[in-house]
Amino acid sequence: MAVVLALSLAVPAGCASTRAPDPVSAPPPPQTTKRDPDPPGPTGRGRLDSAVESMIVGAMIGSIFGIFGAAAGAVGLGIYGAVTGDVPLAGSRGRSARSSDADAEEEMDKEIDAEMAKQDQLEAEIEQELKRQEELLKQIDQDEKQREAEQATAKTESTAAVNVDPTDAPVAPKPRDLPASLFDEKPRKVAKGEWGNDKPMDVVARSLDADRDGSPEEIRYYDQKTGAIVRIEQDADFDGRMDTWTRYEAGLVVEVDRDTDGDGKIDEWQYYGRDGRMARREVDRNADGIRDAFYLYEGGVLVEERHDGNSDGKIDRIVHYKDRKVSSTEEDLDHDGRMDTWTYFEVVGGRAQVSRVERDTNGDGKPDTFETYEQIAGKPSLKERDEDKNGDGTIDVRSVYENGKLKQREISDPTLTPL
């Protein structure tokens, strides 16, 4: 029993001596050498861990004296570990382990902070994309309203409709049925190339000057040999200057050129098919001399728009239509001459809404990011994002969203963790 008690007290006695100082001995001189600051003491969790490990060490040592020795060793060294925060016979391992744990926790905190920052950035990008989609839809609506207004203006009283579908191909204009007595008639020779003609032409010009101000509101030209109409020039706004030129072939309208802003320069070109409906329309919207909007019709309805938004001579937005609704768009957002964003629509409640967006983020001409949207409260909300990070054609990261917030992320390429 004396051995057991001695073992249980041996280590604490070595930790802090209880011997009284010798009153005769002179106190030692004060230390003048600079000491390193004491390291911070162990935490409560660290003391508890050290106590447990110390009890295990004490039990192992005391077991050579039997079960009572193991118990005494565990109790004694457990108390030592709890008081000092160290594990006997482990040297600095305990502190190193705690230091490693602290470093690991700090590193984990940094990774969490970095991930949260990336998530904030991702949410900001999502918000920016939703705003871009809203602007795209507004632009499409604005284009439709402009076409609707132009068609309504172009309609004659006999063919005017209450509701004009902006995706309808406009019907070729027809000259008004007026008595010949209202026109002044005289022959004229048209030089080669004057009207884009490949040879000289002999025509009869019939002029209408209804207000007798010396400036005709309309001149009609007829082929002298066949009597077929070949051209009409009109002053549609009655300002004394011609602003609309209509060209005919075999009695049918094939092209109408217009000066819509009154600056004396053509800014709209309309082309018609043999069915009497518009087949193509080109517009210079900012009057800089460059055609920047192109509309294509097939089967009497609009099927495609092409736009040059920055007037650099390159198409940066294409709108595709199906069944009179927007079906998809292509955009060159960085204006490098190559499309980099593809947006797909679905019809919800009779209106086209964004359902999917594909992007080319590395500029190789192929989409590598795919976003799926769902409609929440009438607005598109991100549902899933798939990303091909290394451009090998397979999805590396899949992110699932709920109400626009990240809910789950799957990473198939281990080299991408942590993101």
Residues 270 and 294 in one domain: no
> Has residue 95 been placed in a domain?
no
Q: For residue 118, is it within any domain?
A: yes
Single residue among 276, 302, 332 that ends a domain in this structure: 276
Same-domain status, 299 and 375: yes
> Does residue 6 lie within any of the structural domains?
no
Long-range contact set of residues 394-400: C-beta below 8 Å, sequence gap at least 24: 395/370, 399/122
Tally of structural domains, the chain: 3
Residue 100 lies in a domain: no
pTM: 0.65
Residues 255 and 246: beta-carbon distance below 8 Å: yes
Cα dihedral: 63, 66, 71, 73 (round 10):
-50
**How far is residue 218 from each of residues 22, 188, 215, 282, measured CA to CA in Å?**
130, 16, 9, 24
Question: Which one, of 382, 333, 320, lies nearest residue 360 by Cα?
Answer: 333
Residue 158 shares a structural domain with residue 176: no
300 shares its domain with 330: yes
Domain end, chosen from 239, 256, 276, is at: 276
Asked if residue 319 and residue 221 are part of one domain, the reply reads no
- Clarify whether residues 139 and 82 are in a common domain: no
At 115 the pLDDT is 72
In a domain, 245, yes or no: yes
Q: Could you give the CA distance from residue 157 to residue 397 in angstroms, rounded to a whole number?
A: 60
8 Å CB contact between 203 and 222:
yes
Same domain, 196 and 148: no
Check whether residue 272 and residue 246 sit in a common domain.
Answer: yes
Same domain, 383 and 238: no
**Is 56 part of any domain?**
yes
Q: In this predicted structure, what is the pLDDT of residue 74?
A: 66
Q: How far apart are CA 19 and CA 16, in angstroms?
A: 9
161 and 176 co-located in one domain: no
Euclidean distance between CA atoms 45 and 299, whole angstroms:
79
Tell me, yes or no, whether 314 and 375 share the same domain. Answer: yes
Domain encompassing residue 219: 172-276
Residues 181 and 236 in one domain: yes
Task: Give the integer Cα–Cα distance in Å for 320 and 327.
Answer: 6
| pLDDT of the chain, 419 residues: tens digit per residue | 333 333 333 333 333 333 444 444 444 554 544 445 555 556 666 677 766 777 777 667 766 766 666 677 667 766 776 676 666 665 545 555 556 777 777 877 787 777 777 777 777 777 777 777 777 777 777 777 776 676 666 554 434 444 578 899 999 999 999 998 999 999 999 999 999 899 999 999 999 998 888 899 999 999 999 999 999 999 998 999 999 999 999 999 999 999 999 999 999 999 999 999 999 999 999 999 999 999 999 999 999 999 999 989 999 999 999 999 999 999 999 999 999 999 999 998 888 999 999 999 999 999 999 999 998 888 889 999 999 998 889 999 999 999 888 999 898 877 765 55
| 78 within domain boundaries | yes
Does residue 159 sit within a domain? yes
